């Protein structure tokens, strides 16, 4: 959502952001961050559905009511489950509402293995349809969600606004690639980079299982793994060690988001081995802009943005993914062409200017005029 705040700020809007107590404030002109109180025993929230969010969201709902009573707003903009009460409050206070749909919440219950309860899923499906129906405008972040909304409500539709803004665009970034190369001793090595979360659906097991084949053909290769909580990193280190690949994997843990670009500049290949899900991984847009060849699984999560002209796409198996990495590392002429075409695609369809235009259209359509 930081990308949204950046765009709203640059368009001259004033924003009050109501959010959880965790996290660091972002300083942007016209943006005021209003956090709920720190709740005892809650220091972090995992990705996806969780019981931890219930008390947090209750506080957020109450704070939303208080601020709506205190202030007159032109627009309510909500994200994920906040859409439930945002839709209701928009009708009570008669304020236009945009629902920013980053996922289908009923699908999340299954994808994160939170619940298989048919009743609970049915309740969330009803709630989601209600939010989509009564929001003044819906934003979706990838073609899959765009089609999902169009299928549910053909007359409603949505504005497709991909999450193309990275932290480097917002905060600026210092190129630390030379320092990273020295400190991690990457000189003379072929670097395959993965960045992102270490959740199971990201397919890191697939990457590790295929790594042995890559190492056998290119002994100088190193897999640079950027991201992951300490427990997740320890788990994957163990898996790498069990396969005798310790010398070919480097784990950095989580880094500052604005530093990811520097790691990308160190890479010869960018990997996205995701095996589940339908939303486009957010890193794909940064990957495309970099001009570094991308290897990704040939699944809808990727192919709604990527194609064979801009990336090496493979079957979601360790063997096929290893072959894709080898192709990207060994066929430098093809890799150069892929990177060039990827950068042009990013400039044409996923630039910040296009992003702003789409958000502006969503606001106009929700309010009936620019606000």
Range of the domain at 293: 175-348
Task: Tell me, yes or no, whether 339 and 251 share the same domain.
Answer: yes
Task: Tell me, yes or no, whether 185 and 325 share the same domain.
Answer: yes
What parts of the chain have a pLDDT lower than 70? 109, 111-115, 369-371
Instruction: Give domain status of residue 169, yes or no.
Output: no
pLDDT the model gives residue 22: 86
Q: How many helices (H) and strands (E) does the chain have?
A: 16, 12
Instruction: Give domain status of residue 170, yes or no.
Output: no
Q: Is 193 helix (H, G, I), strand (E, B) or coil?
A: strand
Closest alpha carbon to 195 in 261, 117, 248: 261
pLDDT the model gives residue 156: 84
Closest alpha carbon to 311 in 280, 271, 349: 271
Task: Tell me, yes or no, whether 324 and 275 share the same domain.
Answer: yes
pLDDT the model gives residue 370: 45
Instruction: Give domain status of residue 260, yes or no.
Output: yes
With contact defined as beta carbons under 8 Å apart, do 14 and 30 qualify? yes
Task: Tell me, yes or no, whether 201 and 135 share the same domain.
Answer: no
- DSSP-derived pairing of the beta strands 31-35 and 15-19: parallel
Task: Tell me, yes or no, whether 204 and 247 share the same domain.
Answer: yes
User: 156: how many CB neighbours lie within 10 A of its CB?
Assistant: 13
Task: Tell me, yes or no, whether 157 and 183 share the same domain.
Answer: no
pLDDT the model gives residue 51: 81
Task: Tell me, yes or no, whether 219 and 72 share the same domain.
Answer: no
Q: Give the length of the chain.
A: 371
Task: Tell me, yes or no, whether 129 and 242 share the same domain.
Answer: no
**Interior angle at CA 317, CA 333 and CA 220, nearest 5:** 50
Please tell me the distance from the alpha carbon of residue 271 to that of residue 354, in angstroms, as a whole number: 26
Please tell me the distance from the alpha carbon of residue 147 to that of residue 22, in angstroms, as a whole number: 33
Name the DSSP class of 227.
B
Instruction: Give domain status of residue 233, yes or no.
Output: yes
Task: Tell me, yes or no, whether 30 and 140 share the same domain.
Answer: yes
Task: Tell me, yes or no, whether 158 and 48 share the same domain.
Answer: yes
Task: Report how many domains make up the chain.
Answer: 2
Task: Tell me, yes or no, whether 122 and 266 share the same domain.
Answer: no
User: Which token pair is 182?
Assistant: 């020295």
Helical ranges in 71-198 per DSSP H: 82-93, 105-111, 118-134, 143-152, 167-171, 177-183
Task: Tell me, yes or no, whether 99 and 6 share the same domain.
Answer: yes
The CATH number for 223's domain is 3.40.50.2000
Please tell me the distance from the alpha carbon of residue 358 to that of residue 341, in angstroms, as a whole number: 23
pTM to 2 decimal places: 0.84
Q: Is 198 helix (H, G, I), strand (E, B) or coil?
A: coil
Please tell me the distance from the alpha carbon of residue 34 to that of residue 31, in angstroms, as a whole number: 10
Question: Residue 34 pairs with which residues in a beta bridge?
Answer: 18
Instruction: Give domain status of residue 190, yes or no.
Output: yes
């Amino acid at each position: 959502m930081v990308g949204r705040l950046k765009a709203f700020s640059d368009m001259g809007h004033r924003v009050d952001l109501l959010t959880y107590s965790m996290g660091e404030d972002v300083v942007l002109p016209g943006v005021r961050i209003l956090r709920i109180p720190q709740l005892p025993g809650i220091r972090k929230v995992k990705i996806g559905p969780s019981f931890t969010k219930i008390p947090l969201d209750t506080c957020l709902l109450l704070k939303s009511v208080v601020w709506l009573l205190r202030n007159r707003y032109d627009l309510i903009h909500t994200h994920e489950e906040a859409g439930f009460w945002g839709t209701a409050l928009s009708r009570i206070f008669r304020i236009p509402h945009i629902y920013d749909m980053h996922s289908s919440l009923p699908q999340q219950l299954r994808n994160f293995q939170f619940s298989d309860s048919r009743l609970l899923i049915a309740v969330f499906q009803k709630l989601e349809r209600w939010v989509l129906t009564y929001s003044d405008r819906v934003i979706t972040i990838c073609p899959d969600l765009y089609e999902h909304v169009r299928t549910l409500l053909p007359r409603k539709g949505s504005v497709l606004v991909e999450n193309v803004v990275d932290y480097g665009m917002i905060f600026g970034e210092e190129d630390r690639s030379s320092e990273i190369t020295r400190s991690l001793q990457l000189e003379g090595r072929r670097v395959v980079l993965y960045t992102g979360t270490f959740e199971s659906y990201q397919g890191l097991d697939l990457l590790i299982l295929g790594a042995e084949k890559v190492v056998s053909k290119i002994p100088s290769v190193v897999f640079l793994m950027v991201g992951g909580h300490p427990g997740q990193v320890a788990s994957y280190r163990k898996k790498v060690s069990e396969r005798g690949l310790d010398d070919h994997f480097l784990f950095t843990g989580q880094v500052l988001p604005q530093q990811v670009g520097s790691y990308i500049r160190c890479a010869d290949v960018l990997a996205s081995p995701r095996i589940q899900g339908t939303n486009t991984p957010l890193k794909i847009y940064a990957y495309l802009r970099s001009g570094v060849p991308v290897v990704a699984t040939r699944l809808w999560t990727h192919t709604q943005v990527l194609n064979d002209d801009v990336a090496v796409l493979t079957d979601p198996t360790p063997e096929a993914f290893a072959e894709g990495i080898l192709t990207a590392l060994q066929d430098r002429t093809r890799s150069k062409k892929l990177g060039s075409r990827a950068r042009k695609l990013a400039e044409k369809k996923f630039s910040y200017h296009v992003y702003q235009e789409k958000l502006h259209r969503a606001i106009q359509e929700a309010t009936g005029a620019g606000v």
